[in-house]
Amino acid sequence: MSREAFINGQQVKFTPGETILEVVRKHIGKDYIPTLCDAPNLEPFGSCRVCSVEVSADLEGKAKRVVAACHTPMQENTFVYTHSQSINKLRKNIIELVLTDHPLDCLTCEANGNCELQQVAATVGIREVRYPEGKNHLDVPKDNSHPYMTSDLSKCINCARCVRACDEVQGQFVLSMAGRGFDSRIIKGADTNFSESDCVSCGACAQACPTSAISDVFQSKAVKPGKKVRTVCTYCGVGCNLDVAVNGNEVLSIQAPYDAEVNAGHTCLKGRYAFRFYNHPDRIKTPLIRKNGNLEAVDWEEAYAFIADKLHAIKATYGPDAIAGISSSRCTNEENYLMQKFIRAVVGTNNIDGCARVCHSPTALGMQRVYGTGAATNSIADIKHTDCMLIVGANPTAAHPVTGARLKQAAMQGKMMIVIDPRQTELAKYATYHLQLRPGTNVAVLNMLFYYIIKHGLEDKEFIEQRTAGYNEFRKDILALDVFALERISGVSATLAEKAAMAYATAPNAMSFHGLGVTEHSQGTFAVMQIANLAMITGNIGRKGVGVNPLRGQNNVQGAADMGVQPHQGAGYMDVTDPQVKQMYESVYGVSLPGHIGYKIPEMYDAALEGKLKGMWIIGEDVVQTDPNSQRVRAALGRLDLLVVQELFMTETAREATVVLPGSSFLEKSGTFTNGERRVQRVNQVISPLPGTKPDGLILAEMMNIMGYQQAKYEPADVLNEIAQIVPFFRGISWERLGENGKQWPVGGDGVDTKILHSETFKSGRAKFFFKEFKESSELTDNAAEYPFILTTNRELQHYNCGAMTRRTKNIELLAEDYLLMNAQDAERLHVEQGNWVELESARGKVKVRAKISAHVKPGIVSTTFHFPEIMINNITSDVHDTEASCPEYKVVAVKVNIPN
Amino acid sequence: MSKNLSALSAKKGLKDGLFERFAELSGANGTVGQEELKGLAQEYLIGSANTYGTVSFYDFLNPGNKKIYICNGSACMMSGKQVFLQKEISDHFREDEIGEVSCLGRCYENGAYQYENKNYSGGTFQDKAENNADGGYTVSGKGAVILTSGFSDITSYYESLVKWLKEDPVRLLKEIKKSGLRGRGGAGFPVGLKLETCHNQKSEEKYLVCNADEGDPGAYTDRYILERQPHALIYGMIVGAFVAGAGMGIIYIRAEYPEACAVVEKVLSDLRNEGVLGVNILGSSFSFDIKLIRAAGSYVCGEETALLNSIEGQRPEVRVRPPYPAIEGLFGKPTLVNNVETLASLKYIVENGGSAFANTGTKTSTGTKLICLDSFFNHPGVFEVEMGTPLAVVVYELGGGFRTKVKALHIGGPLGGIVPVHKIDSLHVDFESFKDQGFLLGHGSIVSIPDSFPMIKYLSHLFEFTAKESCGKCFPCRLGSQRGYELLEKAQHEGLDIDHILFDDLLDTLEKGSLCALGGGLPLPVKNALNYFGEELSPYFKESGI
């Protein structure tokens, strides 16, 4: 449907709906028409008028009209003049007016050299400001109230890019204009400062600002980097691309590239601002060995030799199965691959596991059981194409902020959203239906949804018939349920469940997202299987805007599992007990491999406590702080003969180590991360590893050689090639082919990637229906009488996991402690006031935490986070695990609330 | 305009409109408290920056809100009465309690002010009990009577509508198109075309908005209709809504017209009781109701897209077009926005047919036009004349000529042209005549500029008005109107000789660069003045002859 028009006489083709500015940029050049209020990720606004052009319906240019190119659609056979004399004059005159209310202190301005106003002023050729001095905004005070965000609104040109970024990109509405006419000005909150406002520090406004009116403490506008390196964020499974400005070995600032498919110019406060941990004085800069009870600095040779001796000795005395490894989902695919190879091929055991065990192992298992593949079926960008978003047990605006912002944007625009969550999350406020269930009753609520879908005959019979198995029995079991009993169990009214079920089932395209609120339960895997079944019963599989989309927690948790960081499957999810598979691995690794399944993480602690496990190697995972029942974890680690910990900081786990090896952060290494939508993306080294530290992959490769295995010198691209040989869905991946935006697996030999899984068929042929009944967690049946509250744990936006990195940035000034959310009714009954210390006691122990009275939790429910070792909430979490995948039940802990004297 | 704010406001809808909540909460203080702003933000899931940003836009809501407002509209200003009024009021109020308002529509007698939500004029503050009766203007006309006819009772007034509501709206649309009716708000856009566009949109939800934010200083023709011919307007709204397919209508009346608000509110209630508004009106299957929204003091809200933002509770900044409101308007739904006088003209078309209307007036400017005259005329008032009537008839025959020496007429609001008196004889009341001679019929208000009033001061007044009322969104208007005002003030009081090239550049920038007609329209009267009063103005400019 292409049409034709003329730009300065040149004939161009365009698609109806494209603006004149878009057409000019496409055909003539990006900066050909100067602009100020336009920004790549914002809607056309039409305020600066600098992009004005003349348009005429005939060649002679009769009846020329002046229009703003940014918001005027190109019309067929229009003649556009972008640089006529009168247009050049208009632009110059507009900029002159702007400069009448601008400080003109360019040489001392933060944005000097990076300022769009400066560039445009130069382009249009301003030489003087002819107006006499008049009213202005030059004395507006600066705002330095915030740990990250800064403003100097004397530099503001009122283009509202910041306001629009806060609205259209983040959806936070912190910024607005106030007043009108000449007096209009940017405000934060109800005319307060950044610190007092509801700012979430995403920095979208600072990135959007064309001058230095809004910037940050890193003076991002001032940055003239030696170079800019594009890499991938380490802070969650969204996988935001980051442009890191660097000078020598110093990271100056981080911006989000507009052309990134994943994050399109947006990122969150962790990705953009929380990078100063990388050279924090607390970084471990030398290997340490425990000598006489103390960890003492040693050199690498000594550390390697010590570890090799110990590992040989354990292996000789107790066999390879007395050794286990926990790999890190913060590390690259290449490093994870090497870690499992090290444990399997060099140590000789399948005792390898990763943090997925404690987060999304039920997702991988549940989805594998139902579909044959344990990964997100679709892409985050599909939010654009869906009609209904079902969000179960996830708080994306805090834990996956960029995805959270997209979901929030869609919900604000009126798209159907159903939230199933015990807490009133931010998204729940925007949702059409919020099913605020009692923690631990996902299975009951999801069964209610099935009940009403079937009762109203809203199944997709054709899809069920053609692509699934086990439906008839499933249907019978569902219809036999007593929904009102489920209503009593879950606290979710049957009417509400019915409405939600109908909304999901009748949407042309419905998409589900789930998080740890689904998996971290005794019935976690079953709930995942239900979510997968929900998509099947409604035919929401295999096209844009549908599917099942787990929000993976750590940046490379998908990759770690893909690389074989699990005790039952090697790289590429192949069964280690299958003789053919074993043979294949053996042929690549060149050694014989064990043929029995190894320990999962909780089993490692059991084995250690029983004296069967003697050595452990843990990379970048603070299991003491983040695994449940910390005392027990600590006790288990204490029984080991050797605990090697590869870490950046002296975490609670590193403190228990026999040997500590200083690893490197994501900024200091190359490799690949795989995000939650199966997108394998290149991580590019930004700076050299801090002196004394080594990239984790290098440590592993060196150690493998010292242990007597011939592992080639560590080169991430070479390791990636080896992975591509083994892992079928990596077949077409190579460092070069990944390009800037990565590829979503499976990637065929021809390099073509896959945005949507199961579009034609399932890996397992037909997807299977499984009926599961709700079963109360033993944590409650055993302990509820004595411990009447349910504690459910979650995440805060400002911190990441154990907080080892984020607590060592200014994020600590934004949130300095874990706190306990408590409903006002409970607070009143217990005489707890805002900010009071309370003691939480479970069958495992006690912790003290400060209370925050909140309507976000129902009476009887309390909720907190585990980011701070000062609180150590996992001292009281339980040993109950998902019956199938052994994922701990962090989300349901029976507690009582004691009031300390 | 924010799509998100629009969508979030739409969730609450008109029943619980954010904009009206501001007015409700502004209470006795005249402004909304910080806590209330936060509460509203939470309730509507928006930011307190948005609630603050919106209330701070309006004269009657912002934190600097006043107790009494003195009219500084063009007519009042030039009458000379406001100086005395100001002085008198200063005896009763502190300086920070006295605000200004640009035109209360009392241009026929001046001395206007608003106090405790009531308008007064033609007297002093002391004798306010007597002087708000507001009977002081003539209503008359010449030729066809379309807008100034009488009203008997509801049943007979609306009877002619009954049969049409049972027919295909396309038949009515055809008549309206045939009538050649053009918008009376100032732009003169063909009404049938706009109606057709809205009619053709496939949407379950559509709106009709009557723009009764008659902000042009010097204009009170809409006020006349709202207060004295409200049924003509509502009849027209029903017709417009029926043709467009809108189920809900809004009359957005400026807060400067409290009496008009009261009259319309009463009429709406009567009509609901009589079944003329509501479900299945007049026994048809068409359901339509009207909500009155009272504005909060901002001229730019008369710009249709700013008006839509205002209703949504957003800052009333001008939106980019496209999308046009008829396609994507209030809450993102197709919306027909029309001026009071335009809608009030529809009854005649329904009752007499499109051809009858088209046969009135000129070929391209059909029907009649209301013209209002200020207190410099011997017979100030509202006059209905057929389009094409010589301007001289209005000025000398109907208006009875001037009480004092007048050098120019500012016709069509602050953005209309400044017509020197010698041009009166060459103009006719229709769109083309004015346009062809470099003026603008606009909304049809006539403000006299007496010989004694310096033209430079008048131009400064126009720039000041624009600077004050600019929404602040587009750069040329926000900055240019202020700088223009400063140049003219400095020329008068600080001896500045204005660089005429700079001044031309400024006018060119405003005219070509502005987003809407406020900044874009200001250069017209200024250029007229430079053209016709060059000699008077030349001392203020660097080169003679300008």
Are residues B123 and B247 located together in one domain of the fold? no
The shortest C-alpha distance from A204 to chain B (Å) reads 16
Q: Does A414 touch chain B (CB under 8 A)?
A: yes
Q: Does B12 touch chain A (CB under 8 A)?
A: no
Q: Does A859 touch chain B (CB under 8 A)?
A: no
How would you classify the pairing of strands B207-212 and B335-339?
A: parallel
Domain end among B313, B329, B358: B358
Given a cut of 70, the residues of chain B with pLDDT beneath it are 28, 129-135, 543-546
CATH number at residue B354: 3.40.50.11540
Residue B62 lies in a domain: no
Residue B546 lies in a domain: no
Interface of A with B in 175-204 (CB under 8 A): 175-184, 187-191, 197-198
pLDDT digits (tens, 9 = 90+) for A498-538: 999 999 999 999 999 999 999 999 999 999 999 999 999 99
Domain end among B390, B415, B448: B448
What pLDDT does B129 receive? 61
Cβ separation A414–B7 shorter than 8 A: yes
Give me the residue label for tokens 């004395």: A139
Are residues B176 and B316 located together in one domain of the fold? yes
> Measured between CB atoms, which of B479, B509, B514 is closest to A101?
B479
Confidence class for position A24, pLDDT limits 50, 70, 90: very high
The shortest C-alpha distance from B490 to chain A (Å) reads 9
Residue B131 lies in a domain: yes
Q: Does A168 touch chain B (CB under 8 A)?
A: yes
> Measured between CB atoms, which of A44, A181, A191 is closest to B470?
A181
Q: Does B124 touch chain A (CB under 8 A)?
A: no
Are residues B236 and B322 located together in one domain of the fold? yes
Residue B85 lies in a domain: yes
Beta-carbon contacts of residue A14 (< 8 Å; ≥ 6 apart): A2, A3, A4, A5, A22, A23, A26, A74
Interface of A with B in 12-51 (CB under 8 A): 36, 43-50
> Measured between CB atoms, which of B8, B56, B474 is closest to A412?
B8
What pLDDT does B517 receive? 95
Cβ separation A414–B11 shorter than 8 A: yes
Are residues B487 and B463 located together in one domain of the fold? yes
Contact criterion met (CB below 8 Å) for B298 and B453: no
What pLDDT does A57 receive? 86
Quote the number of domains for chain B.
5
- Is the predicted pLDDT of residue A223 greater than 80, yes or no? no
Domain end among B136, B163, B196: B136
Are residues B422 and B280 located together in one domain of the fold? no
Interface of A with B in 543-562 (CB under 8 A): none
Nearest-CA residue of chain B relative to A97? B479
Q: Does A424 touch chain B (CB under 8 A)?
A: no
Are residues B200 and B89 located together in one domain of the fold? no
Residue B348 lies in a domain: yes
Say whether B458 sits in a helix, a strand or coil: helix
Residue B405 lies in a domain: yes
Confidence class for position A45, pLDDT limits 50, 70, 90: very high
Q: Does B480 touch chain A (CB under 8 A)?
A: yes
Are residues B178 and B94 located together in one domain of the fold? no
> Measured between CB atoms, which of B320, B496, B512 is closest to A71?
B320
> Measured between CB atoms, which of A71, A166, A180 is closest to B472?
A180
Are residues B112 and B129 located together in one domain of the fold? yes
Contact criterion met (CB below 8 Å) for A868 and A849: no
Beta-carbon contacts of residue B393 (< 8 Å; ≥ 6 apart): B142, B385
Q: DSSP secondary structure string, A361-407?
A: HHHHHHHHHHHS--S-SS-GGGGGG-SEEEEES--HHHHSHHHHHHH
Two tokens, residue B245: 């397919």
Residue B61 lies in a domain: no
What's the rounded mean pLDDT across residues A386-401?
97
CATH number at residue B412: 3.10.20.600
Nearest-CA residue of chain A relative to B469? A181
ipTM: 0.96
Q: Does B513 touch chain A (CB under 8 A)?
A: yes
Instruction: Report the C-alpha gap between A843 and B282 in whole angstroms.
Output: 73
What pLDDT does B546 receive? 46
Two tokens, residue B197: 């566009």
Are residues B282 and B227 located together in one domain of the fold? yes
Are residues B223 and B354 located together in one domain of the fold? yes
Say whether A479 sits in a helix, a strand or coil: helix
**How far lies A788's CA from each of A57, A692, A780, A841, A894, in Å?**
77, 50, 9, 10, 6
Q: Does B496 touch chain A (CB under 8 A)?
A: yes
What pLDDT does A773 receive? 97
What pLDDT does B545 receive? 44
Cβ separation B4–A90 shorter than 8 A: no
Contact criterion met (CB below 8 Å) for B407 and B420: yes
Two tokens, residue B213: 């934010």
Are residues B162 and B283 located together in one domain of the fold? yes
What pLDDT does B134 receive? 65
Give me the residue label for tokens 């306990």: A820
User: What is the share, in percent, of chain A residues with pLDDT greater than 90?
Assistant: 96
pLDDT digits (tens, 9 = 90+) for A117-165: 999 999 999 999 999 999 999 999 999 999 999 999 999 999 999 999 9
Nearest-CA residue of chain A relative to B64? A179
Q: Could you give the angle at which helices A85-99 and B475-493 cross, rounded to 10 degrees? A: 70
Give me the residue label for tokens 């009033």: B453
What's the rounded mean pLDDT across residues A1-30?
94
Q: Which residues of chain B have a CB within 8 Å of the CB of A50?
A: 475
Whether omega for the bond prior to residue A746 falls within 30 degrees of 0, making it cis, is yes
Cβ separation A179–B483 shorter than 8 A: no
Are residues B155 and B132 located together in one domain of the fold? no
Instruction: Report the C-alpha gap between A573 and A554 in whole angstroms.
Output: 19
What pLDDT does B124 receive? 85
- Is the predicted pLDDT of residue A832 greater than 50, yes or no? yes
Q: Which of A718, A704, A678, A698 is CA-nearest to residue A573?
A: A678
Tell me, what amino acid is at A660?
A: V
What pLDDT does B422 receive? 97
pLDDT digits (tens, 9 = 90+) for A290-305: 999 999 999 999 999 9
Residue B545 lies in a domain: no
CA angle A65–A69–A72, rounded 5-degree value:
75
A368-393 burial, b for 16+ CB within 10 Å, e for fewer? bbbbbbbbbbbbbebbeebbbbbbbb
Q: Does A52 touch chain B (CB under 8 A)?
A: yes
A812-823 burial, b for 16+ CB within 10 Å, e for fewer? bebbeebbbbbb
Cβ separation B472–A160 shorter than 8 A: no
pTM score of the predicted model = 0.95
CATH number at residue B501: 1.20.1440.230
Q: Does B505 touch chain A (CB under 8 A)?
A: yes
What average pLDDT does chain A have? 96
Contact criterion met (CB below 8 Å) for A617 and A649: no
Q: Does A125 touch chain B (CB under 8 A)?
A: no
Contact criterion met (CB below 8 Å) for A638 and A341: no
Cβ separation A180–B298 shorter than 8 A: yes
Domain housing B50: 2-55
